[in-house]
Amino acid sequence: MLLEKNYRNISRDIRKKILKVSNSAKSAHIGSSLSIVDILVVLYKKFLKKNIFILSKGHACLAYYCVLQKFNYITDKILKSYGKNNTILLSHVSHKVPGVVFSTGSLGHGLPYAVGRALAEKIDKKNKKIYVLISDGELNEGTTWESLLFASFHKLDNLVIIIDYNKIQSLDFTKNVLQIEPLNKKLISFGCNVKIINGHNYYKIYNSLLYKSKNKPYVIIANTIKGKGVKFMENSILWHYKSPNNEELIKAINELE
């Protein structure tokens, strides 16, 4: 069982940290980071002790690094070096950071890598699960669909793909770039088990991650809100690029209090 209050508190702390570090580093992709916090918190609290996680949307690394700091993979001092000169925390996911297995930043790379890891588990008759979090923008990439073909053909039921479906990609809303709906039907037709959840509801996230897929890769479509938690950042393309100035930081933190 989950104590929802605990999760809410952890997520709130992480969101505050994301805002502060983004302000200090003047870094972008804050909306993308805020949208995946709740998923990461449930994953790290409950599912990753023996399993492997890959963040394919490497630009949302600030959320990842704040979670890694919260779960003691990196120190607060390291976190504060984010985006600074000579840091290990560059502004995309890097495997040089303790706790990170795979560097990403160019989209469409995380899922094929995760497929390879899942396949290796099957070959060696081991039972680690491979969790990979991808963005909805990555559904434009050919490698995503190639990987799904391969994963379902080889029955990689140890592969869990979580789609951060915040419906905004880099330049526009996903529906205005390349309409990816009906997403659920597409994924089912590619041979996946699919669940659709609210990606900010801890119970739904937890329950969906408990599901044991058989003979098929498993996809969780997590409906999320880009910029979640800070009203003036939510659902806004601008906050894919902007970092909060001091005034905006105070306003955002007050909203989270």
Contacting residues toward other proteins, per CB under 8 A: 95, 101-103, 105-106, 108-109, 111-121, 123-124, 142-143, 146-147, 149-150, 154
Q: How far is the CB of 252 from other proteins (least distance, A)?
A: 33
Q: Residue 2 or 101: which CB sits closer to other proteins?
A: 101
DSSP state of 47: I
Q: Which amino acid is at 249?
A: L
Q: How far is the CB of 183 from other proteins (least distance, A)?
A: 20
Distance between CA atoms of residues 81 and 111, nearest Å: 28
Q: How far is the CB of 128 from other proteins (least distance, A)?
A: 9
Half-sphere exposure of 86 (CA within 13 A, CB side): 0
Angle at CA of residue 240, ends 235 and 242, nearest 5°: 110
Distance between CA atoms of residues 196 and 205, nearest Å: 10
Backbone phi, then psi, for 29, in 5-degree steps?
65, 35
| Closest to 256 measured CA to CA, from 10, 23, 42 | 10
Stretch (H or E) spanning 202: helix 202-210
Q: Residue 129 or 228: which CB sits closer to other proteins?
A: 129
Half-sphere exposure of 109 (CA within 13 A, CB side): 13
Q: Residue 116 or 182: which CB sits closer to other proteins?
A: 116
Q: Residue 20 or 128: which CB sits closer to other proteins?
A: 128
Q: How far is the CB of 62 from other proteins (least distance, A)?
A: 20
Distance between CA atoms of residues 256 and 134, nearest Å: 26
Q: Residue 146 or 248: which CB sits closer to other proteins?
A: 146
Q: How far is the CB of 81 from other proteins (least distance, A)?
A: 21
Q: How far is the CB of 150 from other proteins (least distance, A)?
A: 6
Q: Residue 105 or 249: which CB sits closer to other proteins?
A: 105
